[in-house]
């Protein structure tokens, strides 16, 4: 029988074990605070958060693939779409919409309807320049890299910096095909 | 791993005959790795040139045989990997399947290896390969003009083979 | 003859990161299991090269005289394969369950380093519940 | 301590209600984040005691906020003043909010007056974690110990809180016990007495 198509984000979110978002939010808050204490430089914290997100992304992608029954990740447009729609719902219980694709389908924006990372959070002025939710951009970059798509993920809008929504831009830099690893004198 | 016989020229692939069946292609190798026959019926993708393709196929068979001999859970002594097996010695494989094709494989005690690549859902073709081996014995081995170890050029064999393969896969 | 003979997990560069023998035909020593893993990795890659059509993802089932070998490769390149009695059923779903155990008890373990051999107690405990001795207990996960 | 991520006392978006705490994320999201928090801290320390302390610190900050959040939401800003009251508040209310269930057990220590133990067969944070043999008795539950200390001290009950694996026969996995050792002034001057004194 044909392999079942990718499961919807809601279906997966309903079937997995869930926890109170506050535990997640407060733990993330503690993580950022630790980085601010250890690193002081806000720009360093942004980098470290992105790196931590990357470390999560390269692990989390396998769970995403296993639970979402996504069978192939060839086309960047399709992959980014399914990761945004299914991934954010499956892990964070939030809806994300993918908008304004560029002509050749290698760059898109993802708008988050909600953001559990940032509940109760208000940046004091000592933290200007901090991308509080930078772990998310790292997660997407790490996850996509594991399915051979090198990307650049940046924040377009951030509520904690005064914008009206959270919006990321995902740009495909290179699709790294798995080269045939054996020289021909095998 | 040097296992190629002297002859450099391998049979040039015949023009693929359009056939309704879902058999893709067939290889016949002798024990020295010479590609005696390559028939192609439906192969949209060629990643390598003919000579590399045949060399790679033989290499795959050789290694898979030594792998299966090594992994045979029923025999205690296993020999070690990569050591050439006598044809028919130890546990061998008879087919493998990927998402795009099924490869059926048969090896005679004389080291003649017959490989048929078909649609992934094809059933067990072990009997069919035995039958093809008989065709090979009838039309090739018994043909006085054929010198063993050289590519097969018998049209009668090819047409009979095409008909048969069309009927099974 | 046990239904399942052994289980291998290989990282995306062909290194063996997990090997479990279910005590059927003599355990393979570590060198051999490492060699089997890297040989399978290259066979799996070569089989894609020989595909008559595009979109080939490598060997999923190898049928030999005395065993079957079922292989699942994740889109991230990690391979899980199990050696079992010829004709054993449910191996695809078993491999899927093992893949999910891997995403839970290996990838979520802070003390597991990516691509390295798996030494996670929880992975072993949960695996032993799915594969008791050599019978597969496919409880609804 | 830089005050980022502090609870919103006031919010310029006045219409945004403080969440009732009904929103959820997947356990996996928390597990991957927590795993990364542990891995990050491993790079910042050179021994296990330090790693435990750093996780405990991280937990402490969470605990302090949980107390504020819950007092506002659950107890209408009335502060808990009795020792057993705060312990059962942690054992049930805090555990339910953070881990979705009441803790398995709350016991008073047998040897020492000032010791209490909250135990959990499978502490949520340890769900997917296998401790390598060479890390001895290290327990990532130090994070939860920090949360408990944050709640207790925030409520005026200073204590030393540690996490321990306790083997359970017949079980392959040990349970985790959060050991609470109250400071003596808590037993001599319980906060209820202190608050009375302040009013005089």
HEC readout, chain D? CCCCCCCCCCCCCCCCCCCCCCCEEEHHHHHHHHHHHHHHHHHHCCCHHHHHHHHHHHHHHHHHHHHHHHHHHHCCCCCCCCHHHHHHHHHHHHHHHHHCCCCCEEEECCCCCCEEEEEECCCHHHCCCCCCHHHCCCCCCHHHHHHHHHHHHHCCCCEEEEEEEECCCCCCCCEEEEEEEECHHHHHCCHHHHHHHHHC
- Which pLDDT does position B117 carry in this prediction? 96
Contact B24 C52 (CB under 8 A): yes
User: A14-30 b/e with 16+ CB inside 10 Å = b?
Assistant: eebebbbbbbbbbbbbb
- Which pLDDT does position D1 carry in this prediction? 31
Q: Please state which of the ranges A62-76, B91-105, D23-37 shows the lowest mean pLDDT.
A: A62-76
Position B146 confidence tier, pLDDT thresholds 50, 70, 90 = confident
Q: Please state which of the ranges A27-31, A55-59, B56-60, D14-18 shows the lowest mean pLDDT.
A: D14-18
The distance from CA D87 to its chain's CA centroid, rounded to whole angstroms, is 11
Residue B5 lies in a domain: no
- The span from the CA of B10 to the CA of B14, in Å, is 12
Averaged pLDDT, D161-173 = 93
At residue D45, φ and ψ (nearest 5 deg) are: -125, 165
- The span from the CA of C93 to the CA of C84, in Å, is 14
Contact A63 C45 (CB under 8 A): no
Residue B12 lies in a domain: no
Position A186 confidence tier, pLDDT thresholds 50, 70, 90 = very low
Position C22 confidence tier, pLDDT thresholds 50, 70, 90 = confident
User: B121-141 b/e with 16+ CB inside 10 Å = b?
Assistant: ebeebeebbeebbeebeebbe
Q: pLDDT tens digit string along D48-103?
A: 999 999 999 999 999 999 998 888 776 666 677 788 899 999 999 999 999 999 99
Supply the CATH classification number for the domain C4-136: 3.30.450.70
Is D44 an 8 Å CB contact of chain C?
no
How many interchain CB pairs under 8 A, B with C?
130
Domain residue limits, chain A: 41-175
Tokens 């893949």 identify what position?
Answer: C99
A59 contacts in chain C (CB < 8 Å): 103, 107-108, 114
- Which pLDDT does position D8 carry in this prediction? 39
- Give the chain B residue whose CA is nearest to the CA of C1: B74
Count of the separate structural domains present in chain B: 1
Is CATH 2.60.40.1180 the right assignment for the domain spanning A41-175?
no
Tell me the average pLDDT of chain A: 89
Q: Which of A61, A72, A182 faces C76 most closely, judged by CB atoms?
A: A61
Averaged pLDDT, A40-58 = 95
3-state class percentages of chain C: helix first, strand second, coil last, to nearest 5: 30, 25, 45
A184 contacts in chain B (CB < 8 Å): 48, 52, 55-56
Evaluate whether chains B and D are touching (3 or more beta carbon pairs less than 8 Å apart): no
Averaged pLDDT, B137-141 = 85
Position B142 confidence tier, pLDDT thresholds 50, 70, 90 = confident
B3 CA: distance to closest CA in chain A (Å): 12
Count of the separate structural domains present in chain D: 1
A121 contacts in chain D (CB < 8 Å): 4-5, 8
Q: Which helix (H) or strand (E) holds B68?
A: helix B50-71
Contact D83, D181 (CB under 8 A): no
Residue B125 belongs to a domain with what CATH number? Answer: 3.30.450.70
Residue D16 lies in a domain: no
- The span from the CA of D108 to the CA of A52, in Å, is 40
Point out which residues pair with C18 in neighbouring strands: C9
Averaged pLDDT, D29-48 = 96
Is B80 a residue whose pLDDT tops 80? no
User: Is A73 exposed, middle or buried (CB count within 10 Å of its CB: 0-12, 13-18, 19+)?
Assistant: buried
Is B59 an 8 Å CB contact of chain A?
yes
Residue B128 lies in a domain: yes
* Angle of CA points C133, C134, C135, to nearest 5°: 105
Q: Please state which of the ranges A175-184, B62-71, C9-18 shows the lowest mean pLDDT.
A: A175-184
- Which pLDDT does position A175 carry in this prediction? 86
Is C141 a residue whose pLDDT tops 60? no
- Which pLDDT does position D88 carry in this prediction? 92
Q: Please indicate whether residue A128 or residue A52 has the higher confidence score (pLDDT).
A: A52
Averaged pLDDT, C48-66 = 94
D171 contacts in chain C (CB < 8 Å): none
Look up residue C97 and give its two tokens: 């369950």
Contact A22 D32 (CB under 8 A): no
Is B52 an 8 Å CB contact of chain A?
yes
How many interchain CB pairs under 8 A, A with C?
47
B45 contacts in chain C (CB < 8 Å): 51-54
Instruction: Give the range of the structural domain holding residue B107, as residue numbers without chain letter.
Output: 23-168
Q: pLDDT tens digit string along B19-50?
A: 446 799 999 999 888 999 999 999 999 989 99
Residue D94 lies in a domain: yes
Residue D14 lies in a domain: no
Interface test with D, best of A12, A16, A33 (most D CBs within 10 A): A33
Neighbours of chain D (3+ CB pairs under 8 A): A, C
Interface test with A, best of B3, B49, B50, B59 (most A CBs within 10 A): B59
Contact A133, A118 (CB under 8 A): yes
- Which pLDDT does position B13 carry in this prediction? 41
Tokens 């004709």 identify what position?
Answer: C87
CA nearest to C110, candidates B50, D132, B39: D132
Position B79 confidence tier, pLDDT thresholds 50, 70, 90 = low
Q: pLDDT tens digit string along C63-122?
A: 999 999 999 999 999 999 999 999 999 999 999 999 999 999 999 999 999 999 999 999
How many interchain CB pairs under 8 A, C with D?
41
- Which pLDDT does position D15 carry in this prediction? 52
Q: pLDDT tens digit string along C126-137?
A: 999 998 765 666
Is B52 a residue whose pLDDT tops 70? yes
pTM equals: 0.86
Q: Which helix (H) or strand (E) holds C27?
A: none
Residue D125 belongs to a domain with what CATH number? Answer: 3.30.1380.20
Q: Which of C26, C35, C63 faces B94 most closely, judged by CB atoms?
A: C63
Q: pLDDT tens digit string along A9-18?
A: 999 999 999 9
Point out which residues pair with D117 in neighbouring strands: D107, D179
- Which pLDDT does position D18 carry in this prediction? 59
Residue D99 lies in a domain: yes
Is D19 a residue whose pLDDT tops 70? no
Instruction: Give the range of the structural domain holding residue D57, as residue numbers without chain letter.
Output: 27-199
Q: Name the DSSP class of C106.
A: T
């Amino acid at each position: 029988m044909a392999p079942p198509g990718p499961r919807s984000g809601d279906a997966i979110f309903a079937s997995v074990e869930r926890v109170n978002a506050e535990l997640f939010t407060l733990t993330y808050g503690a993580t950022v605070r630790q980085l601010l204490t250890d690193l002081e430089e806000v720009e360093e914290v942004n980098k470290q958060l992105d790196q931590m997100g990357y470390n999560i992304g390269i692990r989390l992608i396998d769970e995403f693939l296993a639970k979402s029954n996504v069978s192939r990740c060839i086309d960047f447009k399709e992959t980014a779409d399914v990761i945004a729609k299914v991934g954010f719902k499956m892990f964070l219980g939030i809806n994300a919409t993918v908008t304004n694709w560029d002509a050749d389908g290698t760059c898109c924006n993802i708008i988050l309807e909600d953001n559990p990372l940032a509940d109760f959070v208000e940046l004091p002025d000592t933290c200007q320049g901090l991308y509080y939710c930078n772990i998310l951009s790292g997660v997407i970059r790490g996850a996509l890299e594991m399915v051979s798509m090198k990307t650049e993920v940046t924040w377009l809008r951030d509520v904690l910096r005064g914008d009206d929504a959270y919006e990321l831009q995902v740009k495909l830099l290179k699709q790294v095909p798995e080269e045939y690893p054996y020289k021909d004198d095998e | 791993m040097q296992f190629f016989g002297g002859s450099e020229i391998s049979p040039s692939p015949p023009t693929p005959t359009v056939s309704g069946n879902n058999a893709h292609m067939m290889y016949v190798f002798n024990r020295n790795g010479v590609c005696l026959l390559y028939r192609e019926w439906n192969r949209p993708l060629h990643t390598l040139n003919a000579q590399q393709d045949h060399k790679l196929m033989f290499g795959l068979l050789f290694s898979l045989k030594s792998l299966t001999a090594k992994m045979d859970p029923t025999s205690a002594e296993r020999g070690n990997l990569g050591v050439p097996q006598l044809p028919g010695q130890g546990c061998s494989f008879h087919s493998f399947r990927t998402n795009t094709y099924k490869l059926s494989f048969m090896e005679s005690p004389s080291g003649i290896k017959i490989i048929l690549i078909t649609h992934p859902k094809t059933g067990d073709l072990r009997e069919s390969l035995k039958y093809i081996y008989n065709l090979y014995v009838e039309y090739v081995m018994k043909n006085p003009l054929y010198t063993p170890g050289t590519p097969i050029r018998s049209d009668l064999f090819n047409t009979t083979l095409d008909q048969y393969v069309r009927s099974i896969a | 003859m046990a239904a399942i003979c052994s289980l291998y997990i290989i990282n995306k560069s062909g290194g063996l990161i997990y090997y479990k023998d279910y005590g059927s035909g003599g355990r393979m020593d570590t060198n051999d299991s490492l060699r089997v893993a890297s040989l399978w990795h290259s066979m799996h890659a070569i089989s894609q090269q020989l595909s008559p059509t595009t979109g080939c993802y490598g060997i999923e089932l190898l049928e030999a005289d005395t065993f079957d070998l079922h292989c699942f490769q994740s889109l991230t390149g990690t391979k899980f394969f199990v050696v079992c009695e010829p004709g054993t059923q449910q191996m695809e779903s078993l491999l899927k369950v093992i893949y999910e155990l891997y995403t839970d008890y290996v990838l979520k373990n802070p003390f597991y380093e990516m691509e390295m051999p798996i030494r996670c107690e929880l992975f072993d405990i949960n695996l032993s519940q799915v594969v008791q001795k050599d019978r597969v207990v496919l409880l609804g996960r | 301590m830089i005050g980022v991520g502090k609870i919103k006392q006031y919010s310029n978006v006045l219409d945004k209600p403080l969440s009732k705490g009904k929103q959820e994320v997947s356990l996996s999201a928390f597990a991957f984040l927590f795993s990364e928090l542990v891995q990050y801290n491993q790079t910042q320390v050179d021994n296990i005691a330090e790693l435990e302390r750093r996780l405990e610190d991280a937990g402490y900050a969470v605990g302090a906020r949980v107390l504020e959040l819950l007092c506002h939401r659950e107890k209408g800003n009335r502060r808990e003043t009795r020792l057993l009251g705060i312990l059962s508040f942690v054992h049930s209310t805090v555990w339910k909010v953070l881990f979705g269930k009441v803790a398995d057990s709350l016991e008073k220590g047998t040897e020492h007056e000032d010791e209490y133990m909250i135990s959990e067969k499978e502490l949520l944070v340890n769900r997917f974690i296998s401790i390598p043999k060479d890390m001895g008795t290290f327990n990532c539950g130090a994070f939860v110990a920090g949360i408990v200390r944050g709640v207790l001290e925030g409520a005026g009950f200073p204590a030393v809180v540690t996490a321990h694996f306790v083997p359970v026969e017949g079980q392959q996995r040990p349970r985790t016990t959060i050991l609470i050792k109250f400071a003596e002034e808590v037993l001599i001057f319980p906060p209820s007495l202190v608050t009375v004194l302040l009013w005089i």
